[in-house]
Amino acid sequence: MRDFGGIGMRDRGSIRMRDFGGIVLRSPARVVRPRSAAEVVDAVREAAADGLDAVPRGLGHSTFGQSLTTGVSLDMRGLAGVREVGGRHAAVGAGTSWREVLAATLPHGLTPPVLTDHLDVTVGGTVSAGGIGGTSHVHGTQADNVLALEVVAGGRAVTCSPAERPELFDAVRGGLGGHGVITAATLRLVPAPERVLSCTIPCRSAGDLLRVQREVRAEHISGQVKPSEGGGWRFEAKAVLYGDGGAPPPGTAETERLAYADFADRMRPDVAELVALGEWARPHPWGMVFLPAPRAAAVIGATLAEMAPDDLGLSGVILVKALRDGTVLFSVLRTASPGCASVAEMLAANRRLLDRARAAGGTRYAVDSTG
């Protein structure tokens, strides 16, 4: 092992790393686990001296090698930790997971305004991607709710915010690590409800699902497309009202009252089941595209018309989420399960989805597998 001055580095030249996608594999020249911004500066400088890229990696939940490298892999979990929860903000290390952020803020009655469906992804990883959740129609992305960042760029650690180095602040949010390594973040917080009312609203079509998302007033709203028993697809919106007072929106077929903490962590039982079934470890060729609102229903309809459930895999999921600016995120989250379509077929379908999205004026979500 090389001596890197005792800053928590491990030489792993022979290890092959994968991400949640499980499609791209890379052997980093070495893995470094910096524990401070200064150690990130040193690691990036060392990498450059050796002619290597330094690529930050959070929890590796992107799906097409975005967090992988043959150079130096910076394991940002060395920078996990909530440093402070103040009046309406939290100061956290970039490698902190959203689960860890929420665990620290809830005792103060506070929550980040936007949470991803899965909480085991890092602040640095989602701010570098965008970070969309069921509240994004109100609050925008997680990247929109960052007050300030500490970033290693140009050989030193600097702070940036809308008022200080705004160009750097804008470049690193959604920049996939290409404009600097985020080492810490100050996050906006809002009051957390104690309980929520989750309302399931069956919809007739993609257009109806989008209409419900536009018209229903709910703090958290999402849409899902599921295989229908008689063949074809069925559509379902989930409108989640915060607090105890709200009446279910028109069209509600089922309701469920939940503690907010359980609602935020609602994927946990499904993840445990998928891990037990082996589905969590299978390749995940995920197609995720942003669509302009007026063309969204047509693109979703055309994509579903050429798909069968086997094209999605045994545990695949299709999500539809209308965002604050009217854009629609259409996510075809495929799992290459045994007996279903192959990884190559799923990637080809993702490319067709991206072509269709681009023809409609859309674009890809950069952490997917259409690239």
Chain residues binding ligand FAD by CB under 6 A are: 19-20, 55-62, 66-67, 76, 94, 116-118, 121-122, 124-126, 128-133, 176-177, 181-182, 367
Closest to ligand FAD by CB, 94 or 160 = 94
Nearer to ligand FAD by Cβ, of 46 and 100: the residue is: 100
Angle (CA) 83-84-90 rounded to 5° is: 105
Long-range pairs of 167-172 with CB within 8 A, sequence gap ≥ 24: 172/127, 172/128
State which residue, 125 or 362, has the beta carbon closest to ligand FAD: 125
Residue 51 in contact with residue 45, Cβ under 8 Å? Answer: no
In degrees and rounded to multiples of 5, residue 79 shows phi and psi of -110, 40
Cβ at position 107, least distance to ligand FAD in Å: 24
CA–CA dist 158, 21 (Å, integer): 32
CA nearest neighbour of 60 among 145, 6, 147, 118: 118
Q: Which is nearer to ligand FAD, 248 or 328 (CB)?
A: 328
Cβ 327 to ligand FAD, closest distance in Å?
A: 13
In the bound state with ligand FAD, the residue whose beta carbon lies nearer, of 66 and 248, is: 66
Q: Provide the edge-to-edge strand list for the sheet that holds 286-291.
A: 254-259, 195-203, 233-242, 220-227, 317-322, 328-333, 286-291, 363-364
Q: CA–CA separation, 207 vs 196, rounded Å?
A: 27
CA distances, 351 to each of 23, 295, 332 (Å): 15, 18, 12
Spell out a b/e string for 138-169, using b for 16 or more CB atoms within 10 Å of the CB, else e.
Answer: bbbbbbbbbbbbbbbbeeebeebeeeebeebb
SS3 (DSSP) at 309: helix
In whole angstroms, how close is the CB of 115 to ligand FAD at the nearest point?
8
User: Is 29 within 8 Å of 19 (Cβ atoms)?
Assistant: no
Contacts of 329 (CB under 8 A, 6+ apart): 132, 288, 289, 290, 291, 319, 320, 321, 323, 365
Q: Which is nearer to ligand FAD, 3 or 167 (CB)?
A: 167
CB of 319 to ligand FAD, least distance (A): 8
The least distance separating ligand FAD from the CB of residue 152, rounded to whole angstroms, comes to: 8
CB of 87 to ligand FAD, least distance (A): 25
Cα–Cα separations (whole angstroms), residue 102 to 192, 252, 341: 10, 29, 37
Q: In the complex with ligand FAD, which residue's Cβ is closer, 132 or 199? A: 132
Q: Which is nearer to ligand FAD, 148 or 248 (CB)?
A: 148
CB 247, min distance to ligand FAD, A = 27
Least distance from C-beta 272 to ligand FAD, angstroms? 13
